[in-house]
Amino acid sequence: MNVWSWISELPNSDEWAESDSPLVYELASSGQGSIHLKADRTSGSNSEAAVTFTICLQGFHPFDGQKHLWVSEKCPLSAEKPFLPLLLQLLQEIISRSPTAPDSTCPRSQLQKLRPEPVAWIMDSHSPNSFSCFFNIVFIMHLFWLCVCDAPSEAGLLYFESLLAPTLETVSSKNAPVLRTFLTTVGVDTELCFIRTLGYIITKLCISRELGVGLQSLVPIPCLNPRLYYATEAHGFWVLKGYAPVKTMKLARSTGQKSLPSIDVKESILRYTLAHQQLEALVQLEYTVGFCEGCIQVNARVDNIRLHVAKLGFKKDDDVDFPDEKQFPSRVRIWVGPEIGATYVSGLSLGRFTENEERQVELKKIVKGRFGKSKVLDVKAAARTSTRSRTRNWRMDQDAEGNAAIFDAVLYDNETGIEVATWRAANQSGDEPVHGLRRRYTGANRPFTKTGGVVLGGDEYGEEVEWRVSKEMEGSVLKWRIGGEVWLSYWPNETESSYFETRYVEWCDEVDLPLIPPKLSI
């Protein structure tokens, strides 16, 4: 499917008379019917030539004939970018229907309309093939609501089989650089709305595939790993952002591989609730560059690691089954360093290896004494010292692999002392696991935020790490790699259940490291 190429090749106003029949592009078809995109030549303001797009169904019962699902605003053919209004309308409607958390500080109603300048720049700054891939993603996301909510079930099934799955495969390929550019230019609030909509659509596809509702031709779930992450460099920061719907994360361990139809109703509803969640991660590293006589010093430290698990739904908390049951971050492993095979780095120094806390013991001493020949105890003294040790759920470490520095944070259960991400039930008897992470989102000593996330600051990771780079690289811009692994786990929180699982996702990207000395002021 290449919708953008078809739109771009529409006849201009001189070749396309208003009396001509609408031009039709068949998006998908089956024995029950087909989905079409139509372009009609119309007149806009001041009688200028314009085009209107319509998405319609053909032949599906009970309509049998033609049913219009959506009509676009008019796009003036005489404009410099005649189809920019179409793209803006699609994006705006996607954002306006995105899942948002009930406690969000930026509800959809407060989002302003997209500014046309960044979107127009994206259209100009990428090749037609790259932009076509991005437009296909936007168009398919917009089509989701029409085919799932406003169309017969046969049309929805055709959409999942023939349009959604093949398009999502391109999101994980190298042919989607425009998606990254879009996310970095539209602002973080719009980015979250767009990504949560995409995550919701991906989740529905994964669940449908798992249930096997006629989607035998789709790719297996482990192969569906969209590239929803990117890294950037700006203002002395390296930033890695990653998004992962829970159903696309690799399953590391769980109570079993039973499918939904074979388990009891309560557990199936619990799994369905857990599936509609998405990991949203931000890793922010601060770096500095120093120019010495014999080398260049590159220093980096953790500024912020923020892990949030968002609910991909539209209901309020009091209407959702198991509102207090969420996946929670149980480990995060971040690495940063020069590109693989680089020979210009001569050394790496870590700020902390492993934290060995001192054992603090309570002591009590009693001193007895006598004076003269008296049998009566005349002197008795006692001294007691006691100290307190502070225990934390999260343990932070630094490590190295080659010239890459590794920042590791691992969650432990204070009650049992086990590492949460690697825990596995001793048997599959169905007994509920015993742990100290119940009611983990309440209380003064909770290891998570009230919304179920984790914020790790730079002060918890100790000192910065340092690389020494050859002086010959001065004046160049190097590629530095940054990546991470995040584990999400589920243990029962408020409900009684024997179900548990741990999933993980891995991201890796490149950022710029400018080794340009500052200009001396005169």
Whether the CB-CB separation of 380 and 371 falls below 8 Å is answered with no
Check residue 426 and give its pLDDT: 62
- 3-state helix, strand, coil split of the chain in percent (to 5) is 25, 35, 40
Alpha-carbon distances, residue 19 vs 15, 43, 219 (angstroms): 12, 11, 44
**pLDDT category of residue 220 using cuts at 50, 70 and 90:** very low
Position 106 pLDDT exceeds 70: no
Check residue 219 and give its pLDDT: 46
Each residue's pLDDT tens digit, 327-356 = 999 999 999 999 988 899 988 998 865 555
Residue 57 in tokens: 């169904």
For residue 189, report the phi and psi dihedrals to the nearest 5 degrees.
Answer: -70, -45
Spatial CA neighbour of 327 closest among 491, 494, 84: 491
Do the domain assignments include residue 412?
yes
Most confident of 11-25, 202-216, 338-352, 367-381: 338-352
Check residue 360 and give its pLDDT: 55
Position 313 pLDDT exceeds 90: no
Do the domain assignments include residue 207?
no
Check residue 318 and give its pLDDT: 47
Do the domain assignments include residue 418?
yes
Q: Is the pTM above the cut of 0.95?
A: no
Position 465 pLDDT exceeds 90: yes
Work out the angle at residue 426's Cα, subtended by the Cα atoms of residues 421 and 431, and round it to the nearest 5 degrees. Answer: 100
Residue 269 to residue 246: CA distance in whole angstroms: 15
Residue 159 in tokens: 């959409």
Which of 506 and 439 is assigned the larger pLDDT?
506
Check residue 248 and give its pLDDT: 92
Check residue 199 and give its pLDDT: 94
Coil, strand or helix at 430: coil
Average pLDDT score over the chain = 83
Least confident of 245-249, 309-313, 378-382: 378-382
Q: In sequence order, what DSSP letters do the residues of 133-156 get, joined into one string?
A: HHHHHHHHHHHHHHHHHSS-HHHH
Whether the CB-CB separation of 251 and 488 falls below 8 Å is answered with no
Which of 44, 65, 81 lies at the terminal end of a domain, its last residue? 81
Task: State the alpha helices, DSSP H only, in 256-405.
Answer: 265-275
Residue 269 in tokens: 């509803």
Q: In sequence order, what DSSP letters do the residues of 322-336 get, joined into one string?
A: STT---EEEEEEEEE
Spatial CA neighbour of 397 closest among 385, 388, 406, 389: 406
Check residue 365 and give its pLDDT: 67
Do the domain assignments include residue 260?
yes
Spatial CA neighbour of 62 closest among 94, 92, 32: 32
Position 315 pLDDT exceeds 80: no
Check residue 378 and give its pLDDT: 60
Do the domain assignments include residue 119?
no
139: amino acid identity, one letter: F
Do the domain assignments include residue 490?
yes
Q: How many domains does the chain have?
A: 2
Alpha-carbon distances, residue 205 vs 16, 163, 209, 218, 229 (angstroms): 39, 11, 6, 9, 20
Rounded to the nearest 10°, the torsion over CA 165, 171, 174, 180 is 170
Residue 449 to residue 454: CA distance in whole angstroms: 6
Q: In sequence order, what DSSP letters do the residues of 195-217 get, joined into one string?
A: HHHHHHHHHHHHHHHHHTSS-TT
Q: Is the dihedral of CA 311, 317, 321, 326 positive or negative?
A: positive
Residue 102 to residue 108: CA distance in whole angstroms: 11
Burial 253-281 (b: 16+ CB within 10 A, else e): ebbeeeeeeeeeeebeebbebbbbbbbbb
Each residue's pLDDT tens digit, 339-398 = 988 899 988 998 865 555 555 556 666 666 665 666 655 666 666 665 555 557 888 889
Check residue 138 and give its pLDDT: 95
Strands 345-349 and 363-369: unpaired
Check residue 321 and give its pLDDT: 76
Percent of the chain scored above 70 by pLDDT?
A: 79
Residue 175 to residue 92: CA distance in whole angstroms: 24
Q: How far is CA 500 from the centre of its chain?
A: 22
461: amino acid identity, one letter: Y
Check residue 373 and give its pLDDT: 62
Burial environment of residue 241 by CB neighbours within 10 A (0 to 12, 13 to 18, 19 or more): buried
Most confident of 10-14, 366-370, 393-397, 456-460: 393-397
Do the domain assignments include residue 440?
yes
Q: Which long-range contacts (CB under 8 A, 24 or more apart) does 381-390 make?
A: 386/362, 387/360, 387/361, 387/362, 388/360, 389/357, 389/359, 389/360
Check residue 245 and give its pLDDT: 94
Domain region containing 22: 3-81
Contacting residues for 198 by C-beta, under 8 A, at least 6 apart? 137, 141, 171, 226, 228
**pLDDT category of residue 217 using cuts at 50, 70 and 90:** very low
Position 253 pLDDT exceeds 90: no
Percent of the chain scored above 90 by pLDDT?
A: 45
Phi/psi-derived region of residue 437, left when phi > 0, alpha when psi is between -120 and 50, beta in every other case: alpha
Contacting residues for 175 by C-beta, under 8 A, at least 6 apart? 129, 130, 133
Check residue 17 and give its pLDDT: 72
Cis preceding-peptide flag for 62 (omega within 30 of 0): yes
Do the domain assignments include residue 263?
yes
Each residue's pLDDT tens digit, 140-164 = 999 999 998 889 989 999 999 889 9
Which of 380 and 48 is assigned the larger pLDDT?
48
